[in-house]
Structure 1
Amino acid sequence: MENQRSHRLVLIPPPFQGHITPMLHLATILYSRGFSITLAHPHFNSPDPSNHPNFTFLPFFDGLAGTHISSNNLSNIVITLNATCASPLKELLVGELMKAKVKNEKIACIIYDSSMYFADSVARELKLPTILFQTTSASNLLTYHAFAPLHSKGYLPLRGSGSLDLVPGLDPLRFKDLSVFNLANLDALLQTNAKMLAVTPSLGIICNTVDFLEQPFLDQLRQLYQPSIVNFFAIGPLHMIAEESCSRSSSLLEEDYSCISWLNNQPKKSVLYVSLGSIASWEEKELSEVACGLANSMQRFLWVIRPGTINDVSEWEKSLPEEVKIAIAERGCIVKWVPQGKVLAHKAIGGFWSHCGWNSTLESLCEGVPIMCQPNFGDQRVNARLLSHVWRVGLEWSNIIEKGEIEGAIRRLMVSPEGKEMRQSALKLKQELRVAAIGGSSYDALNRMINNVLSANL
């Protein structure tokens, strides 16, 4: 293994929490298999190097100073990164190649996030092997390949009342589940999507998923990415594979561990964990409806209200009806951010009200926790559809942020026979995922990927 330390992998994430987290899990796994690791990353939203002392962190110029990430500007940020970062990355890699030569090391591969597709041409110019890392589900990746054909056949932009119609070739996904549904800047996204899909990494594509979980979609992807052109590796769930060698946080926000003490005092499977992830949020009026719905459901809850959602959480709490304040004091815990993996693994958690981001989806599945689905943008609607209609561990509800609707949905998930059935299905999936990660299909795919990298550097 120490011999392999002379092989250095350079991993390139974008500045988004949902992409940085799985990239660091992948880095942890590959470090445990003997590789040296460098994270080349944009200055903006940088990960904390002190949390990963075995890795080298190298920031590069990104043109994003002063940017605030929201669901409305993600596409623009990706466009800026790909327009701005090629020269800074090349300069950084040239410097690393010179250092590697002095140290008798070899840069064995560049592993870049799919949204950082400019990195492939930079690596090829420097004659370095490449692997593309897809952080969303395989199902979502397959929808990207469908956009251009759907557009050319007149399905997009969607007209009339066809939002509930099934997408041809993508059953059970509906048009409303696609990330392009109701998108204002459809043309810009289609152009960016085409550029991303035009890239052919030399050593393959890694997808953070599991064969049995998305088998029909993976079969279609493998037909698109024939092994003679590019290898496709389903290696996941990465956080589960990495957990034995990774105890440090990859969060960009400070995690509040006091919630674990609170959970320790709650009955088994009694708490609903509420979090919309690192980008999506509710407006203040909606927060009040959520608070009333949580209170009226009579269920215990751990609720994340992320910094910046509202100016002053304590002042907002004071404005709530008295019975809601009593419910929060008696059955609730409100925090700014949590160590999500530890929360979902806690015996007190019985359900997760989630935005259905892919990391949260996998983390919940791996702990056998059913999900109350509230997708917002991007891949989240695809994931919610899989949770509710394929794996049967997710609750599809109206998504109307009104206290009565919320109360009903929570009670369906937490105390109804329907929710109990989801919990049983989720526990079965948990066991199957562990088998795949520890010694099954994902373990085999990881070994194949590593062998590909080593073979390319003989």
Structure 2
Amino acid sequence: MAVPHVFIFPLPLQGPVNCMLKLAELLCLHQEIHVTFINTEYIHQRLLNYTDVLIRFAKYPNFKFVTIPDGLPEDNPRNGEQVGKIIEGVEKVSSPLFREMVMMTTTNYCAPTCLIVDGIFTFAVDIAKDAKIPLLYFDTISPCAIWTYLAVPKLIEDGEIPFKGNDLDALVNSVSGMEGVMRRRDLPSYCRATDLDIPIIQHIIKQGKHIVQAQALILNTFEALEGPILSQFRALCPNIYAIGPLHTQMKAKLASQSLPTSNSLWKEDMSCIDWLNKQPNKSVLFVSIGSLATMSKAQFLEFWYGLVNSKTRFLWVQRPGSIIGLEDDDINVPMELVESTKERGCIVSWAPQEEVLAHPSIGGFLTHCGWNSTLESIAEGVPMICWPYFVDQQVNSRYVGEVWKLGLDMKDVCDRATIERMVIEVMDVKKIEFLERAKQMSNLAIASVGEGGASYQDLERLIEDIRLMRI
């Protein structure tokens, strides 16, 4: 009987790749499970450039990387504005190669017994059916956001999208289980489109039809955080593995390893840790808009003035390419901003985020509210100020502010006065209140991955189910 062999294929973006590499390593800890991780050539090269991923996975003889092209020209920036093209490239160029790999039985490595694929890859359903092997979709965004994706046909049927009129604060009633919570502005960003025939909406509708055809759904969340939404999911897809927070699972399983690991696609500037070591406890606001989001030069200056005017210490990640047009026309930064930043700020091009959020000097996180960032902040007990950029982040920010009460939602606003006010509220006026609430949720996150916790049990069940998928 062949050993179980999992093919893992993430959406080639920082968040999904980071998430699925963590799952791959957790599976590899059980040596009777073999893992093949499919990376696009672009992503793999960046991992080789900026991480120890080859050394780290070399200790697992049951693991191997395979690379395929993503169909995009080398100079494509692959940022948030390019996500549509990335998905299109994967479907046209990568998916036929993935199909070939799945169908091909090699002599030096066992044939795949199951596929773990990003939920946005609708082509995986037919590949799994043709290969007669189980498909497990791993949607690495939040379940609360995925649930709104699945509701898009109902939103269209009920006439809630496209929006009639300009009132973005009108409540939305066609998302089951979210009545009284979601406003128009809190729906995924593509719901603001006036034309329902745009590719992203058509793809979301298609994804909704395909995701329920998988044998199971893997989600990076935990019951104490999203129990009501998970209950809704189980009516559509009974076999759910809620195994998050994945980075907390990793910490628990690899507690003996003292050095932090990284799956970053950018070079991390470790000098920020030295700077944090010199700051008072819970005094620093961490500012990062993640790996895809961008802002205009005007928004960049509003952020900077808001941070400086708040008189709060801050560590700010300014990712290369995140400020549109900055490379072509350097901003003449006012001297008052430069001087104030020298006094109480630190700016880096990229930071080791998990390590930063776990640092005792961090008291808040101004974030784009991507799901990995949100979960990492929750697990470390760090309150948030949410400035969502696109798609699922609008939903996440609403849940952070309104449902989980773990911070403030700053969506659709970018002025220095609002930024200053919200920073002061989180870091000063309501600091104790937010930290206490965040600590409560952090404790629940940590308990979920501890022995006997819900996420711990779901991961064990996933591993056992994969073991039984022998051919």
Normalised by the length of structure 2, the TM-score is: 0.89
CA distance in 2, matches of 1:448, 1:177: 34
Letter in 2 for 1:79: E
- Alpha carbons of 1:76 and 1:322: their partners in 2 closer, same or farther (altered >3 Å)? closer
CA contact (8 A) 1:256 1:336 kept: yes
Taking the aligned partners of 1:184 and 1:61, their CA distance within structure 2 comes to 34
Identity of aligned residues (%): 35
What amino acid is aligned across from residue 221 of structure 1 in structure 2?
Answer: F
Q: Secondary structure at the match of 2:65?
A: strand
Report SS of the residue matched to 1:136.
Answer: coil
1:222 matched to 2:219: no
Contact 2:297 2:326 in 1 (8 A): no
Matches within 5 A, 1:34-45: 34=31, 35-45=33-43
CA contact (8 A) 1:398 1:405 kept: no
Query: Is the Cα–Cα contact under 8 Å of residues 80 and 294 in structure 2 kept in the other structure?
Result: no
Contact 1:44 1:65 in 2 (8 A): no
Find the residue that maps to 2:450 and give its secondary structure: helix
How far apart in 1 are the matches of 2:195 and 2:102? 34
For the pair 1:263 / 2:276, whether they are aligned, the reply is yes
Q: Which residue of 1 aligns with 2:205?
A: 194
1:193, distance to aligned residue in structure 2 (A): 1.5
**Partner of residue 12, structure 1:** 9
Aligned partners of 1:241, 1:119: CA distance in 2, in Å?
A: 27
CA distance in 1, matches of 2:22, 2:151: 29
Matched letter for residue 200 of structure 2: L
Q: Distance in 2 between matches of 1:184 and 1:42?
A: 33
> Which stretches in structure 2 are left out of the alignment for 5+ residues?
none
Match of 2:433 in 1: 421
- Residue deviations 1:319-364 (CA, integer Å, cap 9, x gap): 3333222111110100000000000000000000000000000000
Q: Which residue type is aligned with residue 166 of structure 1?
A: L
The SS at the match of 1:268 is coil
Q: Which runs of 4+ in 1 moved over 6 A?
A: none
**How far did 1:316 drift?**
5.2
Equivalent residue number for residue 57 of structure 2? 52
Task: Give the structure 1 partner of residue 158 of structure 2.
Answer: 153
Q: How does 1:259-298 map to 2 (within 5 A)?
A: 259-298=272-311
Matches within 5 A, 1:397-412: 397=410, 399-412=412-425
Task: Note the alpha carbon deviations across 1:234-273, whole angstroms, 9 max, x for none.
Answer: 1111111012438421111111111000000000000000
List gaps (5 residues or longer) in structure 1. Answer: none
Distance across 2 between alignment mates of 1:173 and 1:92: 42
- The 1:266–1:242 alpha-carbon spacing in structure 2 relative to 1, beyond 3 Å, is same
SS class of match (1:302): strand
The aligned counterpart of 2:121 is 116
2:243 aligns with: 235
Distance 1:277 1:186, change over 3 A: farther
Matched, 1:457 2:462: no
Q: Which residue of 1 aligns with 2:102?
A: 93
Using the alignment, how far apart are the partners of 1:42 and 1:10 within structure 2?
14
Distance change in 2, residues 1:161/1:403 (3 Å)? closer
Instruction: Give the paired residue count.
Output: 444
For 1:186, give the aligned amino acid: L
Q: Indicate conservation of the 8 Å contact 2:283/2:361, yes or no.
A: yes
1:395 counterpart SS class:
strand
Quote the Cα distance in structure 1 between the aligned partners of 2:187 and 2:314: 31
Residue 166 of structure 1: CA displacement?
A: 2.5
CA distance 1:70–1:183, change in 2 (3 Å) = farther
| Letter of the 2:226 counterpart | E
Cα distance in 2 between the residues matched to 1:397 and 1:249: 29
Select 2:73's aligned residue among 65, 70, 80: 65
- Letter of the 2:145 partner, please give it: N
Residues 200-234 of structure 1 show CA distances to partners (whole Å, capped at 9, x for unaligned) of 45531101111121111111111122x3xxx1111
Distance 1:186 1:251 in 2: 35
1:139-178 alignment, distance < 5 Å = 139-168=144-173, 169=176, 170-171=178-179, 172-178=181-187
Give secondary structure in 2 for the equivalent of 1:73. Answer: helix
